[in-house]
Chain A
Amino acid sequence: MNAVTHQSVAHDSAEKHVTGRAEYADDIAEPAGTLHAALGLSTCAHGAIRAMDLSDVEASPGVVAVLTAKDIPGANDVSPTGLNDDPIFADGEVLFHGQPVFAVIAETRDQARRAARLAKIDYGQRPALIDAAEAKDVGAPHVTAPLTLQRGDADAALAKAKNRIKGRMRVGGQDHLYLEGHIALAIPGEDEEVRVISSTQHPSEAQHMVAHALGLASHAVTVEVRRMGGGFGGKETQMNLFCAVAAVAAKKLGRAVKLRPDRDDDMIATGKRHDFVIDYEVGFDDEGRIEAVKGDYIARCGFSADLSGPVTDRALFHADNAYFYPAVRLQSHPMKTNTVSNTAFRGFGGPQGLIAAERMVEEIAYATGKDPLEIRRLNFYSGEDGRCVTPYHQEVKDNILPRLVGELVAKSDYEERRRAVFDWNAKGGVIRKGIALTPVKFGISFTATWFNQAGALVHVYNDGSIMLNHGGTEMGQGLYTKVAQVVADGFGVELGRVKVTATRTDKVPNTSATAASSGTDLNAMAALDAVNQIKARLAAFAAERTGASPERVRFENRMVDIDGDQVPFDVFVKEAYMARVHLSAAGFYKTPDIHWDREKGQGRPFYYFAYGAAVSEVSIDTLTGEYQIDRTDILHDVGQSLNPAIDIGQVEGAFVQGVGWLTTEELWWDEAGRLRTHAPSTYKIPLASDRPRVFNVNLADWSVNRELTIKRSKAVGEPPFMLGVSVFEAISMAVASVADYAECPRLDAPATPERVLMACERLRAR
């Protein structure tokens, strides 16, 4: 039998997905008497709550209870960082339009939703800061401590540089738009116990938050998630509030309580990708070689810290993308604003840092009249002359971009197609074209070093069937499938023998968020550790029984091979059980060799880097700003893929999501601080017809992770998201053609048709 790792096996729930039988939290049969909650949201972006009249809410049909801050028995806080700045319910003041102020619990969800609209709250309006750059200008506070990364003397190097360019780029945020919105179903148990079923990437944190809100120890709370209908970072911390409200209500009322916000409430009340304003200055020589970079990364964090610290840190960690900056100073500005508190989203600040690096490359290319690709290659990290040290002083030792980009250039006919694009544009028509190749280098590991640990639980039952459980959560990325492949291979059995069960805090404790692309790296290693423990016991048993050396016991082809003597796995397991061999193990893993000193801005925060590159060609309509992606070619590095089909799916999906971020997905707040794009009718994510018309995606199958990761694979969740930048830059080139490429169009993101047209108009007017 062939091993099942490195094979394109289908997602473990594929048949359930296509038949509608996969159960999501809202599909689980509710306990009898389940009540439903809805949140009452503030209608003021910043103000004191002067009076709150909830009598109409209470009197509304079906209403059982109304909860406000004073009804929370423990801490009115779900701050994931311990800063106590994330109230469950606003208490005394509201800090953004849409902030939860109360919850109403009713017999039906419809009744709860209707009642929630009946509150009469009197706000003493205060001035609201909505824009991050404006917040910085007026000296608004940071939500968390900023970070500075520096190496060398950037000011001196800039002063010395022959060429200098200074600019500002606005980069929009992004709503996750997971198709399954937030949900929590809390079921009260005996004594202090409560069980919460939620759609969460971080059940352990939900557990801890629920315990804090109830004033209980963590052992009273169990959080469970079998699968999510998408997460993308939006369920790393944002489910905490929903879990806490449902649990507080359930314990107070002694009945199960479900809280599933409507899509609009979900989008209004939960955090998104941070939008950034980036002020950059780059010095370079006449060849286009970067000599110095200075950058200020101003982020709209919203009213609280949430994960803004590590997100803005990661923006700086990726402000170099793949390029060596001989002298550099990067500064983050995590600004407090009267908007929803922004949070994790695939890439976690990395994309925002990276896109500014690519903007600087573009600036240099237009200034020198060269192909941006040439500038990129000139500035790639390399082993020569010490050009391998990042702004955070980690050495880049595994750079495969020169080979990867070389192959992609050849495979995509980049040079020839670029010439054809110039020829097309030279005709001067309404439709213009652009082409761009952009790379990604992405650091893998949580920068919060302690998160780089994982646990797993493996049981081998005495019939030979295997139960696998780990702290990672399944949100569609295929984590359960990949880890099951590793476990099946470990025991040398068929995949069907391994059943993955729902992630639960009482099976594997103290888990990390399934985030930072780390799910497989961490959990598969932990599971393998558990497998190896059980195998060692089985091998010892075999040795003891036959006198063979334990090293001569192998697990393969559904057999246990004891020095050439083969016993079917299930038969052998039964014998082991009868001989009282322990057939269960808890596995553990922590990523080695990483360390990070945030005060100094130095260390090795990343275990390794994942790489990739994309070439995109686009057409734009210079009368309307509309565009389409004509072709995209991607070559991406996942090391030795555990499951090429799943990995290619991640690459394709991340790319299209990245394109959405940079094109049609626009978050729009009005002057009152109201988010007006709060549902798919107004917030436009890509459709099938928006994907590239020709879309070639390949894995760099020759890449082997230099580090000892699980089967030498690499993380895949986030890095390809940033390949969407190739589309953004291709659009920029098409725009530049209207002024004969004389200047960098300096497009802001997202490049909506409006921004594209206005950039064309601006250049035409020159």
Chain B
Amino acid sequence: MSDKPRTPEIRREIRFLLNGEDVRLSEVAPTDTLLDFLRLNRRLTGTKEGCAEGDCGACTVLVGRLEEGDLRYRPINACIRFLASLDNAHVVTIEYLRGPDGGLHPVQRAMVEYHGAQCGFCTPGIVMSLYALWMEADAPTEDQIETALQGNLCRCTGYAPIVRAGLAAGGDRSADPLAVERAAVVAKLSEWRDGARVEVARDGAAATVPADAADFASLLSENSENTVIAGATDVGLWVTKEFRPIAPALFIGDLPDLQRIERDDGGLIMGAGVSYERAIPALTAMFPHLAEYWSRIGGWQVRSMGTIGGNIANGSPIGDAPPVFIALGAELTLRRGDARRRMPLEEFFIDYGKQDRAAGEFVESVFLPALPDGAKAAAYKISKRREEDISTLALGATLVVKGDRIVEARFSFGGMAGTPKRATAAEAALTSAPFAAESFDAAAEALEADFQPLTDWRATAEYRMTTAKNLLRRFWLEKGAGEPVRLAGASR
């Protein structure tokens, strides 16, 4: 990574592959969505709008990119995916899906045979998610199918026939048209990767894809009014639901030097642009307790788009990553121009809607230190619906026990205050206390001093407080008493 200021080449069009066709666009506003482009501009109407907020999956398409040289197709929500973020990508829609013989794809055939469509409106999106899974897994399990469909709503079938179709869809992966075309697509995307900065605009609204992190740093420090967009899983809604102006905007979701995932004995460093989905292997290898929690962040599409940096920088009190990262002692690296500073993640969140981020500064990476010996860690998420729901409350908990005493306690909650916040009174109650049920009962009571949660449509204040206390008890039962205290959950 070079920090030297320089002016990169500037390209005044975005270019991507749409199904089998090259697309070059110079008139693009930052608010232009892929879904509108597909439906209104190209009349590719197989991709549907169900909610325009990334929650129903009717607009699911695949986006293929070179990830460390490897072409990887991931499902995304076209409704909140901005066109300007697609430079150098391969967009695959339902219209392009076919079998080796040009007829139905095995996934489509199975959906017909198992009566997986009733009204059919969600079906193209469901098929695309199943297809994305089909590419990755030779014989997907029911578990994997459910996870793949977390971001797809169907109101007609009750899902049973869809899952049956997912289990039944066979066929030779190597004969799949996308597999057959793979080398050509890789060649094209590689050739297109020119290291240029991309600048496009429409009606005076400018969208820029910086050439690299250094270019991004200098662009943002020059004009801190820029809206920074990584995965767009939140900014997308600012546009589709609130009509907030976001121009000028910088699209950083695909900057290679924000994509690093580095692991050593000391811990794990992840670039701000790492998506939830890309983070999974390294993150869950080092922190197995995050595996289940992480699979409950958004749906597959949102996990494929949303980034760790965005989740933090956004400052939401109900973001999923901050509570569990704070409990791990995460440190954040912020960058402005070439200047960097590091801080404990919890200090970044000052108040509701207010973070310790100066104008022109951005979240560059997050460091998660490895758990110390004797540490017991847990991550709990409570939501109205188990999957693809925003947290009612979330708890990241790390406890270090030496002998029969607790020597360190880090309990960080989301959804209990205006920011992700540590439960200092509860932690104090536990520190130096015996590792025993009574200590957790006392800590639970201490939560009353830590939080005064709100009532909203997700839950009442009373439920939030009661459950927060019970989660401390759950932690003891699970880590101390060794009792089974969880529903079988995602594993069937």
What is the interface of chain A, defined by CB distance below 8 A to chain B?
A: 8, 10-11, 13-24, 26-27, 29, 110, 113-114, 117, 176-181, 227-232, 262-264, 429-431, 475-478, 619, 621, 623-628, 645-646, 648-649, 652-657, 664, 666, 668, 670, 676-677, 679-682, 684-691, 693, 695, 697, 752-754, 757-758, 761
Contact = CB atoms under 8 A, between A and B. Distances in A.
B467 A624 contact: yes
10 contacts: A17-B111, A19-B104, A19-B108, A180-B50, A263-B53, A624-B471, A628-B386, A649-B161, A680-B53, A754-B463
B365 interface: no
A624 B386 CA distance: 12
Contacts of B483: 429-430
Main secondary structure of the interface of B (DSSP, over half): loop
Main secondary structure of the interface of A (DSSP, over half): loop
A691 B485 CA distance: 21
B238 to A, nearest CB: 13
B108 A18 contact: yes
B48 A757 contact: no
A11 B115 contact: yes
A662 to B, nearest CB: 13
Interface stretch (B150-158, B259-267, B327-335): B150-158
B254 interface: no
Contacts of B124: 17-20
Contacts of A648: 115
Contact of A11 (B117, B163, B470, B492): B117
A626 B471 CA distance: 12
Contact of B467 (A176, A628, A649, A757): A757
A691 B121 contact: no
B312 interface: no
Given A18-B112, A679-B53, A689-B490, A227 B120 contact: yes
Contacts of B485: 429-431, 621, 623
Given A679-B53, A680-B56, A761-B466, A687 B153 contact: yes
B123 interface: yes
Interface string B187-203: 00000000000000000
A681 B119 contact: no
B410 interface: no
B4 interface: no
B243 A177 contact: no
Given A687-B387, A687-B388, 6 more contacts: A110-B36, A231-B119, A649-B156, A655-B158, A670-B457, A681-B51
Contact of B121 (A229, A431, A619): A229
Contacts of B154: 179, 688
A664 to B, nearest CB: 4
Contacts of A682: 390, 457-458
A264 B157 contact: no
B98 to A, nearest CB: 8
Q: How large is the interface on B (under 10, 10 to 19, 20 to 34, 35 or more residues)?
A: 35 or more
A627 to B, nearest CB: 7
A230 B104 contact: no
Interface string B235-247: 0000011010000
A431 B487 contact: yes
Contacts of A626: 382, 386, 487
Contact of A477 (B112, B118, B149, B160): B118
Given A20-B46, A179-B154, A623-B470, A262 B115 contact: no
B42 interface: no
Contacts of B459: 754
A451 B95 CA distance: 41
Contact of B119 (A110, A475, A664): A475
B155 A230 contact: yes
Contacts of A666: 384, 457
Contacts of A10: 112-113, 115
Contacts of B53: 263, 679-681
B484 interface: yes
A228 B384 contact: no
Contacts, number: 266
Contacts of B43: 29
A619 B474 CA distance: 16
B460 interface: yes
Given A228-B119, A230-B119, A478-B118, A429 B386 contact: no
Contacts of A697: 160
Nearest to B237: A681
B487 A691 contact: no
Contacts of B121: 24, 178-180, 229-230, 476
Nearest to A750: B384
B232 interface: no
Which residue, of A19, A263, A682, A761, has the highest number of chain B Cβ atoms within 10 A?
A19
Contact of B56 (A179, A649, A656, A668): A179
Which residue, of A684, A690, A695, has the highest number of chain B Cβ atoms within 10 A?
A684
A725 to B, nearest CB: 16
Contact of B487 (A477, A628, A758): A628
B94 interface: yes
A453 B412 CA distance: 63
B120 A22 contact: yes
Interface in B139-157: 145-147, 149-150, 152-157
A229 B119 CA distance: 5
B421 interface: no
Contacts of B390: 681-682
A262 to B, nearest CB: 6
A26 B59 CA distance: 14
A557 B260 CA distance: 67
A551 to B, nearest CB: 39
Contacts of B49: 26
Interface string B384-407: 111111101000000000000000
Contact of A476 (B120, B243, B490): B120
Nearest to A670: B457
B162 interface: yes
Contacts of A761: 466
Contacts of B117: 11, 13-14, 17-18, 476
B158 A653 contact: yes
Given A18-B108, A180-B48, A691 B243 contact: no
Contact of A691 (B113, B115, B160, B388): B160
A15 B112 contact: yes
A626 B380 CA distance: 12
Contacts of A229: 48, 119-122
B55 interface: yes
Given A676-B456, A688-B162, A18 B127 contact: yes
B230 interface: no
A242 B106 CA distance: 39
B389 A684 contact: yes
Contacts of A677: 457
Interface in B362-392: 382, 384-390, 392
B48 A688 contact: no
A506 to B, nearest CB: 25
A476 B156 contact: yes
A722 to B, nearest CB: 14
B45 interface: yes
Given A10-B115, A623-B473, A688 B146 contact: yes
Nearest to B121: A229
A655 B389 CA distance: 22
B97 interface: yes
A411 B392 CA distance: 39
Which residue, of A21, A179, A686, has the highest number of chain B Cβ atoms within 10 A?
A179
Which 10 pairs of residues, A with B, have the shortest CB-CB distance?
A20-B46, A476-B119, A229-B121, A17-B120, A656-B158, A476-B118, A20-B94, A684-B385, A17-B117, A680-B55
